[in-house]
Structure 1
Amino acid sequence: MDEQDDEDVVPVFFLSDSTGISAETMGNALLIQFPDTRFERTLIPFIHTVEDAREVVEQLDEAMDGPVTPLVFTTAADDRVRQELLKTRAPIIDFFEMHMSKVEAVLGRSGIRQAARLHGVGDIKRYNNRMAAVEFTIEHDDGQSLRALEKSDVILLAPSRCGKTPTSMYLALQHGLFVANYPLVDEDLEADSLPEPVAPYLARCFGLTTTVDRLSRVRNERRPGSRYASPEQCRWELRRAAELFAAHRVPVIDSSAKSVEEISALILQTLKHDARTRRRAHEGKPT
């Protein structure tokens, strides 16, 4: 990277007295609106003390002396830490204070403003449920286990390397869903029926697909020059999978241009719609 390139890059800092996940998520939701801008991202989590905050302020002030003004996002909940961070010369987008003050005003009471409550253990029951979901999902990754499929909330079907595993793990870790993913191999794709192990759970099935070029490229990284990675094989698998999904009315999501967050949101939306439809039908209301 030459000097001119360096001057085009905007330094971005995500600060937190916890994991920094919230600061990154909300900050990146804003940064993605500037696709032509290059960012150099730095995460600084677990700023627990005023002394920690002072060291961060030194780092931010040093960045302010660079060629490009940095962007700083923070979700620090501890008032002492946050006030120290605000002493920097760098501009700070303070998500916590920005939203917390509004929530306090609506509720008419003050929050406890403690760190590590969003991504800490917090609600023990909810935490344990999420961990159970992760264990289930790991056990049922890529068809490794067919045990207790009746406990699954979601079953992902797709040819190999279409994004089943990352989507499964995100749904388990972030939403506490029990997810199984089942790879459609040649034997499954040559049949007209859904694979026998998942057929009884059609209502929980979602299909993933992608483009031939993307699938071939991803597979070539794993098995260069193989039949498995050839465009012809990828085209056949995707075509047969699409025909299988259509024949059994399995909802399909194209993973080629969607993040796991977007794919998961579509799955959750479908699950909620289906649950609402079943409830209204049970109540004798029009759907």
Structure 2
Amino acid sequence: MTNEAPRPVYFLSDSTGITAETLGNTLLTQFPSGNYDRTTIPFITTVKQAQAVVNVIDDLAAHGLRPIVFSTAVGSDIRQALGMCKGILVDLIGTHVGQLERALGAHASGEPGRAHGLGNAARYQSRMAAVEYAMEHDDGQSLRALEKAQVILVAPSRCGKTPTTMYLALQHGIFAANFPLVDEDFEKEGLPKPLRPFIEKCFGLTSNPLRLSQVRTERRRGSPYASLRQCGFELRSAERLYVSHGIPYLNSASVSVEEMAATILQKMNLKH
């Protein structure tokens, strides 16, 4: 299939399109041999806009492979208009709304944007506060209010601390700090002093030496910092530190940020 023309894939939404992309791409991962040309069209808020998108999809269907269309449109009129397209439609909302209405004995609101918009103002503000906290406490820049942290990621440089704390903050509203392990910590084989009162909040990240060396080389090619020997030393030292202090940890070498965040939430019993 990979030698064929790419299959057009559309992610359609009357809001941001994030849910359509996330769920649609998750389904496509089950067909890894596919060759896909992805297009996201968010904020389809009128029937006229929906019909214009349908025209594009129908034209592609008439002259090549039928597009696969993932839709999370909430409004019934938009859903109905998109449902007329000649692509292969996967309606990720409409398929289940009726089932939930029957189960809950209530009608769906039909309001778009509630998942990633300002529909829940308190939840949104909580996530933004968590993002600000993660930025302030990135890479040990600030030790202020560490007691507010729900988790503190500890790791050698370039093991994925920053993207994971930012994801935990933005996606889950978790107050996450991160702190680097440096040569001085490895020599003393002790937890950095500022973290000692918060050891129960610490979670370690590690990697494998080759992967870490590749990542560091992109930053400082030819430096001792990026050498395979230095990376191996730091990772072995970090793991000894985690084990000796009873700090849970995971290897980030072949794990996505989403998977790391889910593991941290589970192992640290964090509610979001």
TM more than 0.5 = yes
Determine if contact 2:2/2:35 at 8 Å carries over to the other structure: no
Structure-1 separation of matches of 2:42 and 2:49: 10
Distance 1:55 1:215, change over 3 A: same
Contact 1:7 1:68 in 2 (8 A): no
Which residue is equivalent to 1:18? 15
Q: Secondary structure at the match of 1:219?
A: helix
Runs ≥4 residues deviating over 4 A: none
**Cα displacement (A) at 1:6:** 6.6
What letter matches 1:219 in structure 2?
R
| Contact 1:7–1:67 (8 Å) recurs in 2 | no
Aligned to 1:278: none
Aligned residues: 271
- Tell me: CA distance 1:264–1:221, structure 2 relative to 1, closer, same or farther (3 Å): same
Equivalent runs, 1:234-253 vs 2, <5 Å: 234-253=231-250
Match of 1:256 in 2: 253
1:108 aligns with 2:105: yes
Q: Which runs of 5+ in 1 are unaligned?
A: 276-287
Which of these residues, 52, 66, 71, is aligned with residue 69 of structure 1? 66
Deviation (angstroms), 1:125: 1.6
Deviation of the 1:7 alpha carbon: 2.5
Percent identical: 52
Q: Does 1:124 align with 2:121?
A: yes
Question: What one-letter code is carried by the residue in structure 2 that aligns with 1:184?
Answer: L
Counterparts of 1:124-143 in structure 2, within 5 Å, are: 124-143=121-140
Q: Does the alignment pair 1:47 with 2:37? A: no
Matched, 1:154 2:141: no
Q: Residues 46 and 190 (structure 1 numbering): CA distance in 2 closer, same or farther, change over 3 Å?
A: same
Q: Distance in 1 between matches of 2:239 and 2:2?
A: 44
- Alignment partner, residue 219 of structure 1: 216
Q: Which residue of 1 aligns with 2:55?
A: 58
Paired residue for 2:29?
32
Q: Which amino acid aligns with 1:192?
A: E
Distance 1:154 1:186 in 2: 23
The answer to whether 1:228 aligns with 2:228 is no
SS at match of 2:113: coil
Q: Secondary structure at the match of 2:27?
A: helix
Is contact 2:204-2:242 (8 Å) kept?
yes
> Where does residue 6 of structure 2 map in the other structure?
9
Per-residue deviation, residues 140-196 of structure 1 (Å, max 9, x unmatched): 011111111011001000111111111101100111111100011111122121000
1:81 Cα offset (Å): 1.0
Secondary structure, counterpart of 1:197 in structure 2: helix
Provide Cα deviations, 1:190-247, integer angstroms capped at 9, x if missing partner: 2121000111111111001111111111111111111111101111110100110111
**Structure 2 segments unaligned to the other structure (5+ residues):** none
1:258-273 matches, cutoff 5 A:
258-272=255-269
Q: CA deviation at 1:66?
A: 4.2
Q: Structure 1 CA distance, aligned partners of 2:122 and 2:86? A: 43
CA distance in 1, matches of 2:125, 2:39: 31
User: What do you get for the CA RMSD once the two structures are aligned?
Assistant: 1.5
